[in-house]
């Protein structure tokens, strides 16, 4: 049944040399502003004219596209090894140009946080950007994940995650995108699914969409274009976005009270200020008695526990083997009202039947609280929080966690990726195929839902 579904979807969807650019100029002043309309052109009409007197050169993206030519491919006759041309691609195309010397600098030490100059073209917008390799383990794989930084004077003004204008987002812009390669996940969708589930349960998580990356004129594969968790993310939420932001980067970010509160975390905003707020939160968790009123009056004032429970259930249900003690953000608004820490989900490709290294993970591992950290270990001992966790699971099984809803979500994402998967799988040889992993995900959904229902009973 599952294989029949997969084959039908793939069949329905699939009916459908590197140019070396000149060196790109760099800008020493990399402070971003939201006044992006000065730098970002909505179309090439700004630089085109029939007048022979006009001497304005084409913008940089137009120039490079002219150099690459406008050749069209016979998509039906395409074979692995042929150049992949944009007219054969179904997903949106994002183009990056990185000069040879800059690319060499980026690849010289892939473990280092090195930013190089690039030229970015997407959604009709052209501009200079900073480019870095993204991730930890992901850096060792052939297909690299990348950060694209809009720090050459302007944030990116358009929203690739919605169709049409959104008054809650318009005019706020994006400071950075992450292009996730998802090497360990040949389905390319587990992270996307888990973040969608997190938000559906009332939690915070980045939005994700998929694009084809063309790098220096050559096809580079399908990437998950992912919203970065930085100042702009919180501005789009309606917050000031000037608070302290901590990223859990190792398993020492386990909510334990430690001599160094930053052990396991990287501070991403206000990096030169103290981190007393995080230290206080960890001390409160360690000291709080195991009863609801005491926990609410201390930890509940410093941490939004409802958001944390949504994060916890999303990762427990999807059986995220790389969460709870890393791969999340804590944000603390520091304006007059301050408010509690907010938990934001991140990096969730070790879900829906695979572990952090891509190996198979059975659906019956991990309980209703997932991998226990010091916070969850206390919450699960308090009846009121245990009941809240069970209610989120139960309500989820009647909604966003139901097999019917999840299968529909998987099929929807499949319909966008499948037409281009032949190009991705030709460009990058991995262990496991897109079609095989679709079956794993669909099977996991059914098995996990049944297991969680039994646990709740």
pLDDT of 437 > 90? The answer is yes
CB 147 within 8 A of CB 131: yes
DSSP secondary structure letters along 143-172: S-EEEEE--SS--B-S-TTSSS--TTTTTT
pLDDT of 274 > 80? The answer is yes
Task: Give the burial string for 137-167 (b: 16+ CB within 10 Å, else e).
Answer: ebeebebbbbbbbbbbbbbbbbbbeeeeeee
> In this predicted structure, what is the pLDDT of residue 3?
41
Q: How confident is the model at residue 21 (pLDDT cuts 50, 70, 90)?
A: very low
Structure tokens at 417: 């990726």
Domains belonging to the chain, first-starting first, are 24-228 (no CATH), 233-456 (1.10.1070)
Q: How confident is the model at residue 368 (pLDDT cuts 50, 70, 90)?
A: very high
Of the chain, the end-to-end C-alpha distance in Å amounts to: 28
Phi, psi dihedrals of residue 202, rounded to the nearest 5°: 100, 5
> In this predicted structure, what is the pLDDT of residue 171?
56
> In this predicted structure, what is the pLDDT of residue 169?
56
* pLDDT tens-digit series, residues 412-430: 999 999 999 999 999 999 8
pLDDT of 17 > 70? The answer is no
* pLDDT tens-digit series, residues 55-97: 344 578 888 888 887 778 789 889 998 888 889 999 999 999 9
> In this predicted structure, what is the pLDDT of residue 124?
86
Q: How confident is the model at residue 7 (pLDDT cuts 50, 70, 90)?
A: very low
CA distances to 56, 284, 326 from 279, in Å: 56, 9, 17
Mean local confidence (pLDDT), 165-194: 85
pLDDT of 41 > 60? The answer is no
Q: For a pLDDT cut of 90, what percent of the chain falls above it?
A: 67
């Amino acid at each position: 049944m599952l294989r029949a579904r997969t084959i039908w979807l793939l069949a329905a969807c699939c009916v459908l040399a590197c140019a070396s650019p000149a060196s790109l100029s760099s800008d020493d002043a990399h402070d971003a502003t939201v006044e992006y309309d000065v730098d970002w052109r909505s179309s090439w009409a700004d630089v085109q004219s029939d007048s022979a007197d006009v001497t304005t050169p084409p913008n940089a993206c137009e120039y490079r596209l002219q150099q690459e030519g406008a050749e069209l491919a016979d998509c039906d006759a395409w074979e692995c090894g042929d150049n992949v041309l944009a007219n054969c691609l179904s997903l949106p195309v994002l183009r990056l140009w990185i000069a040879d010397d800059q690319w060499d600098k980026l690849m010289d030490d892939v473990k280092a946080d090195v930013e190089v100059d690039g030229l970015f073209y997407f959604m009709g917008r052209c501009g200079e950007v900073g480019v870095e390799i993204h991730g930890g383990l992901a850096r060792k794989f052939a297909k690299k994940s990348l950060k694209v930084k809009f720090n050459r004077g302007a944030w990116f003004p358009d929203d690739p995650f919605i169709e049409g204008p959104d008054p809650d987002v318009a005019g706020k812009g994006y400071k950075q995108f992450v292009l996730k390669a998802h090497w360990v996940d040949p389905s390319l969708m587990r992270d996307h699914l888990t973040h969608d589930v997190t938000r559906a349960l009332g939690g915070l998580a980045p939005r994700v969409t998929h694009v084809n990356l063309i790098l220096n004129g050559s096809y580079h594969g399908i990437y998950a274009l992912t919203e970065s968790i930085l100042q702009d993310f919180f501005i789009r939420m309606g917050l000031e976005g000037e608070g302290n932001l901590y990223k859990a980067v190792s398993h020492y970010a386990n909510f334990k009270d430690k001599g160094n509160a930053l052990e396991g975390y990287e501070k991403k905003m206000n990096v030169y200020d103290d981190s007393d707020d995080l230290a206080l939160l960890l001390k409160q968790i360690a000291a709080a008695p195991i009863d609801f009123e005491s926990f609410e009056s201390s930890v509940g004032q410093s941490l939004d526990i409802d958001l944390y429970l949504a994060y916890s259930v999303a990762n427990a249900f999807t059986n995220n083997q790389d969460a709870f003690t890393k791969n999340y953000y804590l944000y603390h608004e520091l304006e007059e009202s301050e408010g509690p820490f907010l938990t934001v989900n991140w990096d969730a490709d070790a879900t829906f039947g695979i572990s952090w290294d891509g190996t198979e993970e059975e659906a019956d591992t991990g309980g209703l609280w997932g991998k226990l950290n010091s916070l969850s270990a206390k919450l699960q001992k308090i009846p009121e929080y245990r009941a809240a966790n069970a209610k989120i699971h139960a309500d989820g099984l009647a909604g966003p966690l139901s097999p019917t809803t999840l299968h529909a979500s998987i099929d929807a994402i499949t319909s966008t990726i499948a037409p281009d998967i032949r190009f991705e799988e030709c460009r990058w040889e991995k262990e496991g195929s897109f079609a095989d992993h679709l079956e794993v995900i669909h099977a996991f959904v059914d098995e996990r839902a049944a297991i969680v229902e039994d646990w709740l009973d």
